[in-house]
Amino acid sequence: MSEQRAISEDPGVLEARDLGRSVHGVDLLTGVDIVAPSGRMTGIVGPNGSGKSTLARCLAGVTPPDHGVVTLDDTDLRTLPRRSVARRLAFVEQQGHAEIDHRVLDVVRLGRLPYRSRLGALDEDADEVCRTALAEVGMAGTDQRRWSGLSGGERQRVQVARALAQTPDVLVLDEPLNHLDVHHQFELLDLLSTGASTVVIVLHDLDLAARYCDHLVVLDGGRVAADGVPADVLDADVLDRVFRVRGTTRRTPHGARVELHGAASRHPDAGRSRRRPLGPPDQPVGVE
């Protein structure tokens, strides 16, 4: 494993300072400061349109911020050569669409491109690394299957395998649980939380975020509404104010659990006249 990264105790800190981005005059992110601690799992949560994906793309160096910097171990991403960034940082997009029909192994091998030689040849271990990565996401033995024949969840897992094949120090994932059934949701989160990499993950499910993440950042309207340990961050006030749900968060030995009870009445000032949802308020209405 020539260029393989040694599993290190200290993979790297990904940090954003005063991040700002606007498109067509609409501010998507404003003054965002976040620190993803080395080797830990940092979750980004927030309602629809709060800027989660934009933040993930900025953190991955895919979208340049209009304002502020993203640093990897205190070095501005933009000052590093793209290829050396790609060796240390991998990004999994929300949905990967491909019109040309690749085989699964071809897709995963894209993850070895940052390690290609001057003549464009992949490293000798490429196929072994790729097969290991596929096995890690529960897709062992699918190398020769065609992309067009995969389900949404399988495609998502192949994309994660591609990112793992980059053997990154830092993984940025934008809602990787989309399309995954519950079994594979837990499996992927187990894999990511036990791995040695620094992980930044955009999540929708607040309970899963609270259970798996070491650190949570709550976005609201492109600003950081709260950040810290999940049990502290997801208090009843944040759930109501940011997510507009009623819920309770309790500490567990390994993190926190969030139980949601239902939609909150709109806003203390706005939604007074709305009828309260049916059913006793303390009965769980199911997790989002």
Can you name the residues that pair with 274 across neighbouring β-strands?
A: none
The answer to whether residue 169 forms part of the interface with other proteins (CB under 8 A) is no
CB of 100 or CB of 270, closer to other proteins: 100
Q: Least separation, in Å, of the C-beta of 127 and other proteins?
A: 6
Q: Give the total of residues touching other proteins (CB under 8 A).
A: 38
- Indicate which single residue of 90, 177, 192, 210 sits in contact with other proteins (rule: CB under 8 A): 90
CB of 197 or CB of 249, closer to other proteins: 197
**Which positions from 46 to 65 touch other proteins by CB under 8 A, shown as an x/- string?**
-----------x--xxxx--
Number of residues that make up the chain: 288
CB of 126 or CB of 258, closer to other proteins: 126
Q: Least separation, in Å, of the C-beta of 99 and other proteins?
A: 6
Strand bridging mode 215-220 / 223-228 = antiparallel
- Indicate which single residue of 70, 85, 219, 245 sits in contact with other proteins (rule: CB under 8 A): 85
- Indicate which single residue of 84, 250, 251, 266 sits in contact with other proteins (rule: CB under 8 A): 84
CB of 102 or CB of 204, closer to other proteins: 102
CB of 192 or CB of 264, closer to other proteins: 192
Question: Which positions from 149 through 168 interact with other proteins, judged by CB under 8 A?
Answer: 159, 166
Distance CA 13, CA 74 (A): 8
CB of 85 or CB of 164, closer to other proteins: 85
Distance CA 213, CA 211 (A): 6
Question: Which positions from 188 through 247 interact with other proteins, judged by CB under 8 A?
Answer: none
3-state secondary structure the chain: CCCCCCCCCCCCCEEEEEEEEEECCEEEEEEEEEEECCCCEEEEECCCCCCHHHHHHHHCCCCCCCEEEEEECCEEHHHCCHHHHHHHEEEECCCCCCCCCCEHHHHHHHHHHHHCCCCCCCCCCHHHHHHHHHHHCCCCCCCCCEHHHCCHHHHHHHHHHHHHHCCCCEEEEECCCCCCCHHHHHHHHHHHHHCCCEEEEECCCHHHHHHHCCEEEEEECCEEEEEECHHHHCCHHHHHHCCCEEEEEEEECCEEEEEEEEECCCCCCCCCCCCCCCCCCCCCCCCC
Question: Which positions from 99 through 118 interact with other proteins, judged by CB under 8 A?
Answer: 99-103, 106-107, 110-111, 113-114, 116
- Indicate which single residue of 12, 16, 71, 91 sits in contact with other proteins (rule: CB under 8 A): 91
CB of 168 or CB of 222, closer to other proteins: 168
Which spans of this chain sit near other proteins (rule: CB under 8 A)? 57, 60-63, 81-87, 89-91, 93, 96-103, 106-107, 110-111, 113-114, 116, 120, 122, 126-127, 148, 159, 166
